């Protein structure tokens, strides 16, 4: 039986799978501090942590028995993976299970920003409106528009298939061109990043976060977009340089933005909150009952595999 520390509450299915082990759960309302996390995993065999838990070198240096860090999320940039590897600590993530949920949210916030749905909701709840009028509250249709997808991985592919149902044209860019089979399935055309920014009516970011994608979108790239185009980000906040995005919006360089992630998350740049042409959601890309249950199951199974001396299902390192 192993000792498992869970640094944030997860769906019940995860606890049920781990019930044969000694499990301690952090139930605080605020995110766990680095100091407390270090104290709690001193003698733990496994750490199950949400994406919002920073697992730094300082924390890991205190762990004497740790065999696995099972990240509750597809990403893992919150973990010092290099240090974990040096010390034979397995790191796992939970990819794949959030694809459909994140793709659905992407289409939702695209519709929200192009059809001004949150703005209309707020109007109805406050001053109201005078009735239907030919020029009142105009938005933009998706039909016949070009969607540029940055990163045609599983989520990007799922978004492309949904966008086709709206009659959109799909172009994409990625470090490597996808196979003909994937391009045909998505009806997507490969272009360079510059071409994508120049041609797209909506630019949707689905790239993983790493050194090469940090500040992939800055003022230089935003200047290359159409003035009536929208930027959508459901990947990682720091892919976009947030101060440059604010400047582009303030200077009417693009028509608007829809963001589920933020560069300094959970903080959100104050100017973005004041803009009616910006839709903001609190990092809820995979926040569905179905996706989170699947994520809890996969994360728990990774721990069980490693504590049983077997290979994890979704190793990072």
pLDDT of residue 74 exceeding 90, the answer is no
The confidence score (pLDDT) of residue 1 equals 77
Catalytic residue among 34, 104, 195, 265: 265
The confidence score (pLDDT) of residue 217 equals 98
Catalytic residue among 116, 206, 283, 292: 283
Catalytic residue among 100, 119, 206, 236: 236
Q: What is the pLDDT of residues 19-37, one digit of tens each?
A: 999 999 999 989 999 999 9
Question: Does residue 283 have an active-site annotation?
Answer: yes
Question: Does residue 144 have an active-site annotation?
Answer: no
Question: Does residue 104 have an active-site annotation?
Answer: no
| Whole-prediction pTM | 0.91
The confidence score (pLDDT) of residue 75 equals 84
Mark out the alpha helices in the chain (DSSP H runs).
Answer: 12-17, 34-40, 57-60, 81-86, 99-114, 117-125, 154-165, 180-186, 193-199, 219-223, 242-250, 270-273, 289-307
């Amino acid at each position: 039986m192993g000792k498992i520390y869970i640094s944030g509450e997860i769906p019940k299915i995860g606890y049920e799978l781990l019930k044969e082990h000694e499990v301690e759960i952090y139930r605080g309302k605020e995110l766990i501090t680095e100091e407390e996390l270090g104290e709690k995993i001193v003698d733990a065999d496994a750490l199950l942590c949400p994406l919002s838990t920073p697992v730094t070198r300082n924390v890991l240096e205190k762990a004497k028995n740790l065999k696995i860090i099972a990240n509750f999320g597809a990403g893992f940039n919150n973990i010092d993976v290099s240090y974990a590897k040096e010390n034979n600590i397995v790191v796992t993530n939970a990819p794949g299970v959030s694809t459909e949920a994140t793709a659905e949210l992407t289409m939702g916030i695209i519709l929200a920003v192009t059809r001004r749905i949150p703005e209309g909701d707020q109007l109805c709840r406050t001053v109201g409106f005078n009735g239907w009028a030919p020029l009142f509250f105009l938005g933009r249709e998706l039909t016949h528009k070009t969607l540029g997808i940055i990163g045609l991985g599983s989520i990007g592919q799922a978004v492309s298939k949904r966008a086709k149902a709206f009659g959109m044209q799909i172009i994409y860019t990625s470090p490597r061109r996808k196979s003909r089979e994937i391009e045909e399935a998505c009806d997507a055309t490969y272009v360079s990043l510059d071409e994508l920014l120049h041609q797209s009516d909506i630019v949707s970011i689905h790239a993983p976060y790493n050194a090469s994608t940090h500040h992939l979108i800055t003022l230089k790239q935003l200047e290359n977009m159409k003035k009536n185009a929208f930027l959508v980000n459901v990947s990682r906040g720091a892919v976009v340089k947030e101060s440059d995005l604010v400047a582009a919006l303030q200077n009417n360089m693009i028509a608007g933005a829809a963001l589920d992630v933020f560069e300094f998350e959970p903080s959100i740049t104050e100017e973005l909150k004041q803009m009616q042409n910006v839709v903001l959601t609190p990092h809820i890309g995979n926040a569905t009952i179905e996706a989170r249950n699947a994520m809890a199951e996969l994360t728990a199974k990774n721990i069980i595999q490693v504590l049983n001396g077997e290979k994890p299902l979704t190793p990072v390192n």
